[in-house]
Structure 1
Amino acid sequence: MTERRPRKDALRNRAAVFTAADTLFAQCQSPDGVTMADIAAAAGVGKATLFRAFGDRTGLIRALYEARLEPIMNAVADGPPPLGPAAPPLERVPALLDAVLCLKLDNRHLALALEQTGADNPYATAHYEGWHALLRDTLDRIPGLADSDFTAHALLAATRADLVAYLTDGKGTPREELREKLAKFTASVLNTGSGQGQAAEH
């Protein structure tokens, strides 16, 4: 059976919705203030169109975040080092964390909105569970490292969207300084030394 392709107008609407939502989340004071009605109006589509395509606001947020995450996940799945699976774990772990941090730096309010979709538990989202499993499995490959499960949680805590927003918007920490601090913290956790595990440039 031939798989049905989305209609061109549906694809155009989806692109318009993503562009509108990106802009609204980037410009808002709080992600809670971005509503489905706001996104529909900015995209020039009806609210019914949004609900048909995404189910609800949570579905739209997840779809948009997954679209922004897709290039990183493609690199993680089969790309070259430092993100790809062939990278040594001491190189891959800091690269994975840097990729998460950069994504959240570029999409702070969207990332905050995503973390708030976990019924007051950001650790219950599929997004978090996926990154935790990837990081844990990579940490498992480091000889002598104890409790990779907890270590993965601890390292990911340094990339939480609320912390990233606080440090950048609230404290004025420059992007590159925050990336460097995360790289040094990761190196200290992995005991690789400050000269190793340097974040890849994005």
Structure 2
Amino acid sequence: MPEPERKTRKDAARNQRAVLEAADALFARAQSPEDLTMADVAAAAGVGKGTVFRAFGDRAGLLRALYEARLEPVRQAVETGPAPLGPDTPPQERVPALLDALLCFKLDNRRLALALEASGGGTTPYQAGHYEDWHGLLRSVLERIPGLTDPGFTAHALLAATRADLVERLAGPEGLAREDLRARLARYADRVVTARPADAPPE
């Protein structure tokens, strides 16, 4: 590979890291993340605005990249980590643990999660790539629970309880404490994964 091409790739990777770090700091401090522009991020990173657009496409692309970078430790714990998130955990225990991890992530990244779910042409999280990942994961775990029907719909219903706009409503205007929110979600998830099928005989 020619040396100039290798240097260009290294420069691009360095610029991308600088932009993500700058965006991370700006979103952490911003009172209104929706007001932050690509120009703001470029200035904070010390690069041209064109560099940000080339690396991430648009504001939604930058938000997605930042969100994914923050989510990566959670994803690693889900894929290879120990109980309760890791793959060796019994499914009835793993489902509430996965939802709790996602809820805590949304609570720790409230502004970014809201900005991401409200970007990209609509106020919906369902267009985000990470939603499909989480739905597929939950569905695969739910499929291992004996007697649980329609795991695909159930995964959607469980994930709805962790929508960023709902988390913001509960943690903001309704004033629910973090541990209260986590406990309520855990009880809800536990009822779903331990519910007796409608046609199951009584014990």
- TM bucket, shorter chain: 0.7 to 0.9
Q: Partner residue of 1:184? A: 187
CA RMSD, aligned part only?
A: 2.3
SS of the residue corresponding to residue 123 of structure 1 reads coil
Q: Which runs of 5+ in 1 are unaligned?
A: 193-202
Q: Partner residue of 1:165? A: 168
Q: Partner residue of 1:77? A: 79
Q: Which runs of 5+ in 2 are unaligned?
A: 196-203
Match of 1:135 among 117, 132, 138: 138
- Go from structure 1 to structure 2 and tell me whether the alpha carbon gap of 1:111 and 1:50 turns closer, same or farther (over 3 Å shift): same
Q: Partner residue of 2:201? A: none
Q: Partner residue of 2:149? A: 146
- Residue 139 of structure 1 aligns with an amino acid whose one-letter code is L
CA distance in 2 between partners of 1:115 and 1:66 (Å): 13
Paired residues, number:
191
**Cα offset for 1:11?**
4.2
Task: Select between 32-41 and 88-97 the one with higher mean Cα deviation.
Answer: 32-41
Higher RCO (C-alpha under 8 Å, 6+ residues apart) = 1
Task: Select between 180-189 and 28-37 the one with higher mean Cα deviation.
Answer: 28-37
Percent of aligned positions with the same letter in both sequences? Answer: 65
Q: Which has the larger radius of gyration?
A: 2
- Residue 86 of structure 2 aligns with an amino acid whose one-letter code is G
Matches within 5 A, 1:1-202: 6-7=9-10, 9-120=11-122, 121-191=124-194
For normalisation by structure 1, the TM-score amounts to 0.84
Asked whether the equivalents of residues 158 and 182 of structure 1 are also in contact (C-alpha less than 8 Å), the reply is yes
For normalisation by structure 2, the TM-score amounts to 0.84
Asked whether the equivalents of residues 168 and 175 of structure 1 are also in contact (C-alpha less than 8 Å), the reply is yes
CA distance in 1 between partners of 2:142 and 2:69 (Å): 26
Asked whether the equivalents of residues 117 and 125 of structure 1 are also in contact (C-alpha less than 8 Å), the reply is no
